[in-house]
Amino acid sequence: MKDEKGILFILSGPSGVGKGTVRKALFDQDPDLAYSISVTTRPSREGEKDGVDYFFKAKEDVLKMIEQGELIEYAEYVGNYYGTPKAYVEQTLEEGRDVFLEIEVQGAMQVKENFPEGVFIFLFPPSLEELKNRIINRGTETEDLVRNRLLEAKKEIDMMDAYDYVVVNDDIENAVSRIESIVISEHCKRERIASQYKKAIGSVEL
Ligand SMILES: Nc1ncnc2c1ncn2[C@@H]1O[C@H](COP(=O)(O)OP(=O)(O)OP(=O)(O)O)[C@@H](O)[C@H]1O
Ligand SMILES: Nc1nc2c(ncn2[C@@H]2O[C@H](COP(=O)(O)O)[C@@H](O)[C@H]2O)c(=O)[nH]1
């Protein structure tokens, strides 16, 4: 186990902006990062695997997890529940590994209350037109769901000021390198705070 705890990074942004794509590319470059797999009541999409993309659950199972305090946060988003299991996040941070949550805004605001030291990153589309194209071209949503997700997108963008960083996903490589810089910079900040703390302790006469 490392001395220092890992850092919790929260990645949000409207549906279709590219959170999953950018996060996977970031993780390919840095295998030390840990991804928190969420629970959801949403049916799996073609190619998605239980225990890899999500833990796919029945609604009553997610409600039970909520009742038993097993989730750090949860939200109802476009007709389905999504939530972050607490045990994995807490244990992995304790082991000194950085953990990424990829979650929508209502859930992120709950995390902010319980983990104010978390680093909140909002992924932003180059334009609303491009966002719409990405979500349509992904081909996973019905026309109705695309519309509902775009309505949510407007509300999510209104919450962007609550985040520490805004990263534009114009190009996957650029977005990944901006997020990598944030990860490095947050580690440097904490190292500086730790060294100031050690210096202060060292100067106290016992
Ligand atoms: N920078 C980019 N340029 C062009 N297309 C992109 C870019 N980033 C992601 N995409 C494409 O946009 C679509 C949506 O990406 P992705 O599924 O990663 O979004 P998401 O934010 O995770 O969505 P959701 O919140 O709905 O899960 C995908 O088809 C992906 O290939
Ligand atoms: N509050 C939470 N939001 C989550 C979680 N896991 C995923 N999400 C977000 O939900 C939407 C829709 O996801 P999709 O896979 O159906 O496209 C998207 O913004 C995800 O980031 C979670 O645990 N809690």
Distance from Cα 165 to the centre of ligand 2, integer Å: 19
Q: In the predicted model, what is the mean pLDDT of the chain? A: 94
pLDDT of residue 3 exceeding 70, the answer is no
ipTM for the assembly: 0.99
Task: Say whether 37-95 and 1-33+98-206 share the same fold.
Answer: no
DSSP code per residue over 71-89: EEEEEEETTEEEEEEHHHH
pLDDT digits (tens, 9 = 90+) for 130-176: 999 999 999 999 999 999 999 999 999 999 999 999 999 999 999 99
- Known binding residues for ATP are 13-20
15, 19, 21, 146: residue to mutate for ligand 1 pocket, most atoms within 8 A of CB:
21
Distance from Cα 170 to the centre of ligand 2, integer Å: 21
> Of ligand 2's atoms, which has the minimum distance to the CA of residue 75?
1
121, 132, 134: residue to mutate for ligand 1 pocket, most atoms within 8 A of CB:
134
Q: What is the mean pLDDT of residues 96-124?
A: 97
Residues with CB under 6 A from ligand 1: 13, 15-21, 134, 137-138, 169, 171-172
Burial class (CB in 10 A: 0-12, 13-18, 19+), 23: buried
pTM, to two decimals: 0.94
The DSSP symbol for 54 reads B
Class (C level, CATH) for 1-33+98-206: alpha beta
pLDDT of residue 206 exceeding 70, the answer is no
Provide the pLDDT for residue 73.
Answer: 98
Q: Where are the domains of the chain?
A: 1-33+98-206, 37-95
The residue type at 167 = V
- Whether residue 55 contacts residue 84, with contact meaning beta carbons closer than 8 Å, is answered with no
How is domain 37-95 classified at the CATH fold level? Guanylate Kinase phosphate binding domain (3.30.63)
Provide the pLDDT for residue 167.
Answer: 98
Distance from Cα 82 to the centre of ligand 2, integer Å: 6
Q: Residue with the nearest Cα to atom 31 of ligand 1?
A: 21
Provide the pLDDT for residue 201.
Answer: 74
Distance from Cα 41 to the centre of ligand 2, integer Å: 11
Give the number of residues written for the chain.
206
Provide the pLDDT for residue 4.
Answer: 87
- Between CA 54 and CA 115 the distance in angstroms is 22
